[in-house]
Amino acid sequence: GQQLNQSPQSMFIQEGEDVSMNCTSSSIFNTWLWYKQDPGEGPVLLIALYKAGELTSNGRLTAQFGITRKDSFLNISASIPSDVGIYFCAGPDLSGGSNYKLTFGKGTLLTVNP
């Protein structure tokens, strides 16, 4: 199946700083997804990207679908304490022929120091 390499694994930043994380794959994805997981909860979808080169924002979050369709980036501007959590990239696993089988990156653990 397809694999996603997400970096960095963890980040420790000061409140107000900007954050960048990225995800790469050796194979093409037609859809890129970014999720956030809070402790004790399931992942929540933040942004969905459907087209190569697409740049989409959701409040202070901005994500881009790489032109090669093998990477994606998530930026968080002016971080606040509630941004703490694990951020995952994900995409439908086309090798399985299904949009309901998601492949996830290993996640980026974000800690924000007030």
Partner 1 sequence: KAGVTQTPRYLIKTRGQQVTLSCSPISGHRSVSWYQQTPGQGLQFLFEYFSETQRNKGNFPGRFSGRQFSNSRSEMNVSTLELGDSALYLCASSFGLAGGGWETQYFGPGTRLLVL
Under the criterion CB under 8 A, does residue 28 sit at the interface with partner 1?
A: no
Least Å distance, CB 64 to partner 1, is 17
| Contacts of range 86-89, beta carbons closer than 8 Å, 24 or more positions apart | 86/36, 86/37, 86/110, 87/21, 87/34, 87/35, 87/36, 87/37, 87/46, 88/6, 88/34, 88/35, 88/36, 88/37, 88/43, 89/4, 89/6, 89/23, 89/32, 89/33, 89/34, 89/35
The correct pick among 8, 16, 53, 96 for binding partner 1 (CB under 8 A) is: 96
Size of site (CB under 8 A) for partner 1: 26
> Can residue 100 be called a binding residue for partner 1 (CB under 8 A)?
yes
* Alpha carbons 80 and 49: distance in angstroms, whole number: 24
In whole angstroms, how close is the CB of 42 to partner 1 at the nearest point? Answer: 3
Q: Binding string to partner 1 for residues 30 to 59, with x set by CB under 8 A, is what? A: xx--------xxxxxx--x-x---------
Q: Which of residues 56-95 bind partner 1 (CB under 8 A)?
A: 88, 90, 92-93
Q: Which residues bind partner 1 (CB under 8 A)?
A: 1, 30-31, 40-45, 48, 50, 88, 90, 92-93, 96, 98-107
